[in-house]
Amino acid sequence: MKFEVTILGSSSATPVYNRNPTAQLLNCNEKFYLIDCGEGTQQQLIKFGLKASKINYVFISHLHGDHYFGLIGLLSSMHLNGRIKPLYIFAPKAIQEILELQFKHSDTNLRYELVYFEIDATQPAIIFQNGDVTVETIVLNHRIPCTGFKFTEKKRLRKLIVEKLENDDVPLDLYPLLKRGVDLTLPNGNVLKNIDYTTDSAHPRSYAYCSDTLMDELYFDSIKNCDTLYHEATFLHEMLERAKETHHTTALQAAEVAKIVNAKKLLIGHFSSRYKTLVELLEEAKTVFENTELAIEGTTYQI
Amino acid sequence: MKFEVTILGSSSATPVYNRNPTAQLLNCNEKFYLIDCGEGTQQQLIKFGLKASKINYVFISHLHGDHYFGLIGLLSSMHLNGRIKPLYIFAPKAIQEILELQFKHSDTNLRYELVYFEIDATQPAIIFQNGDVTVETIVLNHRIPCTGFKFTEKKRLRKLIVEKLENDDVPLDLYPLLKRGVDLTLPNGNVLKNIDYTTDSAHPRSYAYCSDTLMDELYFDSIKNCDTLYHEATFLHEMLERAKETHHTTALQAAEVAKIVNAKKLLIGHFSSRYKTLVELLEEAKTVFENTELAIEGTTYQI
């Protein structure tokens, strides 16, 4: 199953040096989930050849503008481009009032339905599930209510050991039951033990997105053992005081988090406008957690 | 005096093919006036090396998103970048509610003052004057209340004929009065007739910005004899019915307007996303009004 994330914006606060405010597009089994939507997200989608029409779910971490000012424009363009299927928005409650006020004054009556799900930023919760993925909130520690999101693949069906099944003449119509892990007793009394005919499916991968936060053990449990951890790394560690003051994290701290929670891979982003180049942030993180990459706009990362 | 306009966005409705929604930056004597502010305007300013901090006045024609969705991000970035001087916003009344709602939910207390001037879209009016320029609204005919803006240079002082003044030993301290067009009687009874010592100053140039409108004689008087007319030209004339339906203008009609109002030059923009290239729109307009140019992003046009 495809499970990958494309970075649309990697800048914190203000756009600079061709870096745009935060947005990411998660592709999970060819279903598309937009995570945050800073100003210019729709232009970034066009630039990278990604279709806004394929997005059915939007997740907004918090209401600082660099994480959602692009949403009203994206939704308006979807309307103008003829969208009719519903769009599901998981966001802080006020998003509805903000969007509706602007639609009212532009006299826009959307042709499609916006379905709002209010996020409670006080405790982690499962907020969405379908056949592919479960989405849980991650309670972060920022200046305003803020949640990250953990996307976990659904556990896949067990894998059949086809050669053995064929050797033992197991009827084809029993395969689906075996995939589900069932032991079977045949009419002749023979027992087919599931463990003899199947192997466990691949480990369900997970992607944890921690947008804006102080480093805080508050959220470590929520992201334990994730495969890819995206964590903000706004500053170099020499700016730790500034990071604390603004409720952000340094590259070194992001790496410490990855190590503590036993992530397989770390992706850092949300870079301060003071950094024209990013190599120092990467090097700093790697001193603590080697398997770190920079979130580069237009790049797709396998989870 | 410098009097020029730089195009920041030339697209209608949705961004496409690297064309951004509408925004223009007018430089009048090194003071900067932002006209409309579609999504991504702040990114366009960065791209073209223009300083947002120099903008003191913002004019919003109407509340369709492609003309103002970039404003909240621009204002937020000004705040984050340390602005303390006031910013003056001329816009439909609801802009204040829209901006303040978003500042409230991001817990933003601007360090600088936003001064709002409500535009009445029912009749043309002078809405701003300083030593350089007068700004008047142009009442347009669109789906929601919409005004264009006419920027007219202040009449300059008369030009001194210095050689003659020196020949006749006219005291230097009288020069300023002569520049203002005054006739003077000297203590010895001699009369200095202004017309003998000065010539008329250059004709005050004007820039008329007609954002979104049906072609309608309603606004022709307001833009008569302007030096540069920016007029929307959303469609080719073969799409006239669609233009009427959406309250827009065709390239041919924009040229007709320029001809009727006796503009010196026509600049067309607000191109529909259906046009990947723009040459046909230009050619169509030129069949009626030869001195037409396309509004190209990043290009500065002298008025």
The interface pTM score, or ipTM, of the predicted complex is 0.89
Mean of the pLDDT values across residues B196-218?
94
**Banded pLDDT at B164 (limits 50, 70, 90):** very high
Q: What pLDDT score was predicted for residue B140?
A: 98
User: What helix, strand, coil percent values describe chain A, rounded to 5?
Assistant: 30, 30, 45
CB-CB contact of A5 with A300 (8 Å)? yes
**Banded pLDDT at B187 (limits 50, 70, 90):** confident
**Banded pLDDT at B191 (limits 50, 70, 90):** confident
Residue B43 has pLDDT above 80, yes or no: yes
What CA–CA distance (Å, rounded) separates B98 from B94? 6
What CA–CA distance (Å, rounded) separates A160 from B114? 67
Residue with token string 């937020």 = B76
Q: What pLDDT score was predicted for residue B32?
A: 98
Query: Which of B107, B265, B298, B139 shows the shortest CA–CA distance to A63?
Result: B107
B128 to chain A, closest Cα gap in Å: 24
Active site residues of A: 66
A246 to chain B, closest Cα gap in Å: 12
Q: What pLDDT score was predicted for residue B128?
A: 97
Q: What pLDDT score was predicted for residue A150?
A: 98
Residue extents of the structural domains in chain B: 3-156+202-302, 159-199
B-contacting residues in A 45-84 (Cβ below 8 Å): 46, 63-66, 69-70, 72-73, 76-77, 80-81
Residue B189 has pLDDT above 90, yes or no: no
Question: Could you give the angle at which helices B71-80 and B95-105 cross, rounded to 10 degrees?
Answer: 50
Helices in B2-108 by DSSP H: which ranges?
Answer: 41-47, 71-80, 95-105
Backbone angles phi, psi at A183, to 5 degrees: -85, 145
Cα within 13 Å of Cα(B18), Cβ side:
6
B102: number of Cβ within 10 Å: 24
Q: What pLDDT score was predicted for residue B190?
A: 84
Core vs surface per residue B221-239: b (16+ CB within 10 A) or e? ebbeebbbbbbbbbbbbeb
Strands A184-185 and A265-269: unpaired
Mean of the pLDDT values across residues B3-32?
94
What CA–CA distance (Å, rounded) separates B58 from A255? 43
CATH code reported for the domain at A3-156+202-302: 3.60.15.10
- Give the residue from chain A lying closest to B92, CA to CA: A105
Regions of chain A short of the pLDDT cut 70? none
pLDDT in tens, B113-128: 999 999 999 999 999 9
- Give the residue from chain A lying closest to B63, CA to CA: A106
pLDDT in tens, A247-256: 999 999 999 9
A14 to chain B, closest Cα gap in Å: 6
Q: Which amino acid, B83?
A: R
Structure tokens at A43: 């232009």
A274 touches chain B (CB under 8 A): no
Residues of B with Cβ-Cβ distance to A144 under 8 angstroms: 105-107
Closest partner CB to A106 (pick from B42, B81, B144)? B144
A20 with B43: Cβ contact below 8 A: yes
Query: Which of A94, A90, A98, A137 shows the shortest CA–CA distance to A117?
Result: A90
**Banded pLDDT at B54 (limits 50, 70, 90):** very high
Mean of the pLDDT values across residues B38-48?
97
B15 touches chain A (CB under 8 A): yes
Residue with token string 């053990």 = A217
A39 with B70: Cβ contact below 8 A: yes
Bridge-partner residues for B159, per DSSP?
A: B199
Strands B147-153 and B206-210: antiparallel
**Banded pLDDT at B60 (limits 50, 70, 90):** very high
What CA–CA distance (Å, rounded) separates B56 from B84? 11
A-contacting residues in B 84-143 (Cβ below 8 Å): 92, 94, 97-98, 101-102, 105-108, 143
CB-CB contact of A60 with A67 (8 Å)? yes
